[in-house]
Chain A
Amino acid sequence: MRTTTTIPVVAFGLFAAALPAAAQDTLTVYTYESFTTEWGPGPAIEEAFEAECDCDLEFVSVADGVALLNRVRLEGENTEADIVLGLDTNLINDARETGLFAPHGISLDNIDVPGGFEDEIFVPFDYGYFAFVYDTEAIDTPPESLTELVEAGSELGIAIQDPRTSTPGLGLLLWIKAVFGEDAADAWSELRDNVVAVTPGWSESYGLFTRGEVPMVLSYTTSPAYHRIDEDTDRYRAAAFSEGHYLQIEVAGRTVKGQDNALAGEFLTFMTGPGFQDVIPETNWMFPAGRTSEPLNPAFDDLVEPAETLLFSPEEVAENRNAWVDEWLSIMSQ
């Protein structure tokens, strides 16, 4: 019997050892999953910032942007996060209302995003336009508008993301609202036939797409740049939609807990400078929100230019998000 009593004790010891030790100078950044993968911006940014601050930058990742906000809400005041990176303008009102975020206290002079951006709490770090990216080997003539896509029927399989977890998923919801207005629900009922998979995060959808499981995926106008630059192929393109494209501005914020950590402020300043911004275009595959030290790769000049930029105000989104998501859920569960 001695063995059975010692096992738990030893096991708990081992377990405690397996948990990461809390170091003195650590900055904990919560972000979404595709940010921290080895081909995402995470590793390069970690290296650059750690060289500058002589500290330990630790990323904790969840599926996608909306899940990020939920995670922080679930943890409440006990959150480990100093910085939450990867919310977007659609979420900043909800995020602000949690009371878990503190003013950034830095200058946003370096920031240059379409339509401009002013906020006491959140700092933009990149932006992009949602678009459907397609495989030219599977689709000869892509739809030329959102309306055409909606009417395409089940012939055209797409992967999208869940607006309950993912900022692109929420972006599509808003895009369709912006284009179809009152008729958005009908548009979704029609679009439902095309939807092969609804994934919790962007990376799962994009994975289905690159594996050839779906010929078209909800992503960004900038996504083809990745295939052009890294894979030297024109095979994957974004479809330009005549109604215009919905804009996403991704932001980061300092938590109340991070207020006490000097590294948090340092990180936000670093984020708006070239050390961070240089990494973004060719790892996160978005447009930088601040100045980069060199011009972007010409592949970025060759992308779909939105005929019109669509964007709801954060207040409008905050007011309607729950109702619109419920409506979406109700249609998609049929």
Chain B
Amino acid sequence: MTAFRAQRGRLAAGGAALAGIGLLLGGAFLGLAWEAAASWEGALAAFDGYLLRVTRFTLWQAGLSTILSVGPAILVARALARHPRFWGREFILQLFAVPLALPAIVAALGVLALYGRSGYFAPLFAATSGDMWPGIYGLSGILIAHVFFNLPLATRLCLASLETIPADQWRLSAQLGMGAFASFRFIEWPVLRASLPGIAGLVFMLCATSFTIVLTLGGGPGATTLEVAIYQALRFDFDPARAIALTLVQVALTGTIVLALARLGASTMGDASLPVASRRALFPGAGEKVLNTTLILLALLFVAGPMLATVVAGLAADLVRLAGERPVHQATLTSFILASLAAVLCLMVSGALIMTRRALELARGARIPGFLERMSDSGAAMVLIVPPIVIGAGWFILLLHFGDVFAFAPAMVVAVNAVMAMPFAVRVIRPAYDAASARHEKLCLALGISGWNRFRLVDWPALRRPAAVGFAFAMALSLGDLGVIALFGSDDVRTLPYLLLQRMGSYRTADAAGIALFLAILCLGLMFIAGRLGKSRT
């Protein structure tokens, strides 16, 4: 009986969490379906040339971004793998992890500050081409920003797979006298080939669902992706019918990619666990050394450039005035409150799902996992199929029927950001919980510790640290997000990224740069704390 009761509490928690996620997704789809039923002719008519072109551009830019990110990443990763004691290698790898934590809008601003028509490089470009630098609005800006994000990511993932090559194989290749090409062919390529589809698929998905970059660097209807078009259909056009058509295509597209990734067994989250490089016998020739050093330095400059530009431009802003501005205070406060709530909600939902999954696993013994267990397991990752903008759009349309949609902004931002951070939190917390459960389950049953007491006395001490990591991570993700808030934001509810977007819009570039620096420091600080907490756990 005790066992049964212990399970029941955990099952209820998981059921509630799943119901919450279901409500969030279901509400969005209800909104879309409702509107589609009401104006199905309009939705059908929206499957027009514009939709086709937007879809084509979405795929085209994602494809190009993938090629431009993954191709060089292979070379850079290989160069790093072949120089395990390259000077500053650790620093470079750390730096390559930064874009993951950097809010997209900050990066977009950094890229503009560097390569824009009036950016730091403009005089140089103008001098070399002898013509006025045309700037980077449109496809080129989107590609540069996407490569800025995904080249380091792909490099780290490629490097992680190269690190799985046993040290003996490097020795063997040295003894057999394989040159750079032969060792690429026989040692590195086979490993890379196995992981490349997953890496490329992940990058493709990230670029196909990229919103902020395209919104800020797209420069017009000629460079619009599905996500941005959904946003514009709602906020510019007040055209829910068109938004529905766009949303359907978007969901079909991301669904296909996520399923393909799942079949490849690839990660949809893009984390690279990089062990300390083992000592390896490598004797690259002088030519290869020069080439590899050049490659690494180029990649380093490319990745560090926009970060440096963010810092330089941010410091040039009137930070003292900004620090005294009421809108900045309000946006900071709003951001912190919404992000904290999102992080708390994220932990609650993730925790409930993790406990439910474990309870079901224990209950079934060796039998095949049931539906609920599978939902609480991979179900968490499935939310990635539905981009935040789509959830936002669905609710936006639904809430139109219930009054002022902008009044719902805080709830929407919290809920959507919490769910979006969930897969990451689950991954941090679940191993700790499952391990603690494996140790304590029998003892708890024997002593009759269950429910709240069990959580307080047994589970929480084991979860405190991973939960803190998850919290910091979810909060950083939410702080930097410009997705749902772009749809729901207004002068009443402004987060820092939204304020940043507004300042960019009203050509107060210096203000925007200052806020960007502030936001970047906040997010990186949180990520740093998360990293520290995660690492000091043994």
Q: Mark B369-382, 1 if CB is under 8 A from A, else 0.
A: 00000000000000
Minimum C-beta distance from B52 to chain A (A): 9
Interface residues of B in 194-242 (CB under 8 A from A): 219-222, 224, 232, 235-238
Interface size class of B (residues with CB under 8 A): 35 or more
Minimum C-beta distance from B471 to chain A (A): 9
A284 located at the interface, meaning its Cβ lies under 8 Å from any Cβ of chain B in the complex: no
A236 located at the interface, meaning its Cβ lies under 8 Å from any Cβ of chain B in the complex: no
CA distance A317 to B493 in the complex (A): 34
Minimum C-beta distance from A300 to chain B (A): 24
Residues of B within 8 A of A206 (CB): 507
Residues of B within 8 A of A200 (CB): 236, 505
| CB pair B118 A330 closer than 8 Å | no
Which of A34, A197, A206 counts the most B-chain CB atoms under 10 A from its CB? A197
- Partner pick for B134 among A157, A164, A204, A207, CB 8 A cutoff: A157
| CB pair B334 A18 closer than 8 Å | yes
Given A4-B344, A212-B117, A164 and B507 contact (CB-CB distance below 8 Å): no
| CB pair B236 A67 closer than 8 Å | yes
Residues of B within 8 A of A80 (CB): 404
| CB pair B57 A333 closer than 8 Å | yes
Residues of B within 8 A of A197 (CB): 137, 219-220
Minimum C-beta distance from B254 to chain A (A): 21
CA distance A203 to B224 in the complex (A): 21
Residues of B within 8 A of A37 (CB): 506
A20 located at the interface, meaning its Cβ lies under 8 Å from any Cβ of chain B in the complex: yes
CA distance A192 to B222 in the complex (A): 9
| CB pair A138 B220 closer than 8 Å | no
Residues of B within 8 A of A334 (CB): 53, 222
| CB pair A76 B403 closer than 8 Å | yes
CA distance A293 to B424 in the complex (A): 64
CA distance A79 to B406 in the complex (A): 10
Minimum C-beta distance from A122 to chain B (A): 19
Interface residues of B in 493-523 (CB under 8 A from A): 502, 504-507, 509
- Partner pick for A213 among B118, B232, B237, B410, CB 8 A cutoff: B118
B333 located at the interface, meaning its Cβ lies under 8 Å from any Cβ of chain A in the complex: yes
Q: Mark B342-356, 1 if CB is under 8 A from A, else 0.
A: 001000000000000
Closest to A58 in B: B491
Residues of A within 8 A of B54 (CB): 333
Minimum C-beta distance from A223 to chain B (A): 14
Residues of A within 8 A of B221 (CB): 162, 198, 329, 332-333
Minimum C-beta distance from A131 to chain B (A): 19
B340 located at the interface, meaning its Cβ lies under 8 Å from any Cβ of chain A in the complex: yes
| CB pair A164 B403 closer than 8 Å | no
Q: Mark B323-362, 1 if CB is under 8 A from A, else 0.
A: 0000000100110010011001000000000000000000
A78 located at the interface, meaning its Cβ lies under 8 Å from any Cβ of chain B in the complex: yes
| CB pair A198 B507 closer than 8 Å | no
Residues of B within 8 A of A214 (CB): 117
- Partner pick for A18 among B333, B400, B490, B491, CB 8 A cutoff: B333
Minimum C-beta distance from A32 to chain B (A): 11
CA distance A200 to B505 in the complex (A): 8
8 further contact pairs, Cβ within 8 A, besides A74-B238, A164-B237: A8-B344, A33-B502, A33-B506, A73-B238, A75-B406, A203-B505, A211-B509, A329-B221
25 sample A-B contacts, Cβ–Cβ < 8 Å, listed by A number: A7-B344, A11-B340, A15-B333, A18-B330, A33-B505, A60-B490, A60-B492, A66-B236, A67-B235, A70-B235, A74-B400, A75-B403, A75-B404, A75-B405, A75-B406, A77-B403, A138-B132, A162-B236, A196-B137, A197-B219, A203-B505, A204-B505, A207-B507, A208-B117, A333-B53
Chain B residues within CB distance 8 Å of chain A: 48-50, 53-54, 57, 116-118, 132, 134-135, 137, 219-222, 224, 232, 235-238, 330, 333-334, 337, 340-341, 344, 400, 403-407, 410, 456, 460, 490-492, 502, 504-507, 509
User: Nearest 8 pairs between A and B by C-beta?
Assistant: A207-B507, A198-B220, A164-B236, A213-B117, A332-B221, A78-B404, A78-B403, A70-B238
